[in-house]
Structure 1
Amino acid sequence: MSGVPDRPPQLQTLRPSQRHAGCGTGAELWLLRHAEVHEDWQGRAYGDLDIELSGAGLERTRAFAHAFQGRDAALVLSSPLRRAWLLAAALGEVLGREVSTDPDLREVHRGEWQGMLVEELHSRYAE
C-alpha cells in the first residue's frame, strides 16, 4: 500500500486513560476485522500467530479503507499483529490519522488448538 510501512512503527502504547482522548459524547466506535489471511492458514485456528493477509485480503483492505474516505475519526487503534495493523494503517492514511497499537487488542493465544484445522477441532471436541 502506498505510504504504508510493512510493520507497525514502534509506537507508545496508550494507557487506558488515553484510549478515549478526543472522543466526546455521542462518539461512534467502529470495530473492524482484518481481511482474509494467507491461503495456507484459511480454515485454521491461528490465534495470535502473526499470519500474513492473502493477496485478495490486501486488495480488500485497500478498498475497505477507501470506503471511509470523508469520514472523521478521533483515534485509530490496532492490534500489533500485522494483519490487523495493515487495515488500521490504510484507514489512518485515508482519515489523516496516526495509528496507535494496543497489545490489549491482540488476538488470544489458542494453545494446543493453534494451527489446527477448524474441522478437526469440531470433530475432536464435538461436545
Structure 2
Amino acid sequence: DYLTKPFSMTELIARIRAVLRRIRPGLADDRVGHGDIVIDRVAHRVKRAGKEVHLGPTEFRLLDYFMQHPGRVFSREQLLDAVWGSDVYVEARTVDVHVGRLRKALNLPETVDPIRTVRSAGYALDLEG
C-alpha cells in the first residue's frame, strides 16, 4: 500500500488494518465489546444486549472511539479531532447532536444510558452506573 503526504493517522491505521486483514484475518481486532455493547468494525454493526442497533456513520465512529477508551472523559474538541479529524472545521456543539443521536439509538428499554455527561468537561462511555 502507498500513502502520499499529508495523510491523517486514521487513514494510516485503516490501511494497516486492511493489510493485516488481507495477510492474516485473525490478526486484526475487528470486534470490540464493553459491557453489553459489541461493535463489529468489519461488518459495520453494533449490538446492545443481543439486539441490533442501527447507527449512522458518524455515530458509529463516535461509538468506536468511546469503545477504544471506556471510562475516559473527552471534551468536545477532543472528540472533534478524533472522530471528524483535525483538518475539518465543525462547530463544537455538533458533538452534542451526534452524542444525542447515539444515546437515542443505544438506549433500549430497561438498559442504562452508556454515555455519561460530565458537566463542563465532556462525555465518556460508562456502563457501570
Tell me the TM-score range normalised by the shorter chain: under 0.3
> Which of the pair has the greater relative contact order for Cα pairs under 8 Å at 6+ separation?
1
TM-score, normalised with respect to structure 2: 0.23
TM-score, normalised with respect to structure 1: 0.23
Name which one, 1 or 2, has greater alpha-carbon Rg: 1
